[in-house]
């Protein structure tokens, strides 16, 4: 794992840059995921009847637009490492 610090090394700047990039990706993914979760699950926690105001197709498209960047762009490093490894750890 490149994100774990083992000790002082010459590649420390690269590891810190990767950690900063992953932290930034996490916060962007969280910002895109929270509205999607609120849209989908909000009616279960708060008695909101927004389903009647928004059509199911519209809600689906909004959720697709929010989820696509998270899965394809922000999670791309995880997919790339999984594809490169292709071993039993990929399943974990």
> Quick one: pLDDT band at residue 52, thresholds 50, 70, 90?
low
> Quick one: pLDDT band at residue 56, thresholds 50, 70, 90?
confident
d(CA 19, CA 4): 9
Buried-state track 53-83, b at ≥16 Cβ within 10 A, e below 16:
eeeeeebeeeeeebeeebeeebeeeeeeeee
d(CA 50, CA 43): 8
pTM value surpassing 0.75: no
* Per-residue CA distances from 52 to 46, 78, 88 (Å): 15, 38, 46
């Amino acid at each position: 794992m490149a994100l774990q610090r083992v000790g002082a090394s010459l590649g420390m700047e690269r590891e810190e840059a990767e950690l900063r990039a992953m932290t930034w990706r996490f916060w962007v993914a969280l910002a895109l995921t929270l509205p999607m979760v609120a849209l989908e699950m909000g009616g279960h926690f708060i008695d909101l009847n927004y389903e009647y105001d928004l059509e199911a197709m519209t809600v689906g498209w909004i959720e697709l637009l929010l989820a696509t960047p998270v899965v394809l762009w922000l999670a791309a490093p995880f997919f790339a490492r999984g594809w490169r490894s292709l071993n039993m750890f990929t399943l974990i």
